[in-house]
């Protein structure tokens, strides 16, 4: 993990501000969703990318009945019926 040297305080509502330089570098825009992970005592933020529930592919994912499925897995499912 790479340190940026940037320190931010948590406000009274539990929020932190990601610096604009970091948001630009990581292509994080206003209203983008971030996933929150915990690894030991580390908190990891990752830009949310909806992925296929079967293969984790995030390319051309469609939502079917609340589940994300990629075109390849959808073809495989159709061929099994």
> What residues are paired with 68 via a beta bridge?
63
User: Would you say residue 75 has pLDDT above 80?
Assistant: yes
Any idea what the CATH number is for the domain that residue 14 is in? 2.10.260.10
Q: Does residue 79 sit in helix, strand or coil? A: helix
Read off the pTM.
0.61
From the CA atom positions of the chain, what is the Rg in Å? Answer: 18
**What is the reported pLDDT for 52?**
92
Spatial distance between the Cα atoms of 1 and 41, rounded to a whole number of angstroms: 14
Total domains present in the chain: 2
Q: What is the DSSP letter of 58?
A: -
pLDDT tens digits along 32-71: 999 999 999 999 998 888 899 999 888 899 988 888 999 9
Residue 39 belongs to what domain range?
1-48
Residues 63 and 32 in one domain: no
pLDDT tens digits along 12-37: 999 999 999 999 999 999 999 999 99
């Amino acid at each position: 993990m790479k340190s940026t040297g940037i320190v931010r305080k948590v406000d009274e509502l539990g929020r932190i501000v990601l610096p604009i330089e970091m948001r630009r570098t990581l292509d994080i825009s206003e209203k983008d969703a971030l996933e929150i992970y915990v690894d030991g005592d580390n908190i990891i933020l990752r830009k949310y990318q909806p992925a296929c529930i079967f293969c984790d592919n995030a390319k051309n994912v469609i939502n079917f009945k609340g589940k994300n499925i990629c075109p390849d897995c959808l073809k495989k499912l159709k061929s099994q019926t």
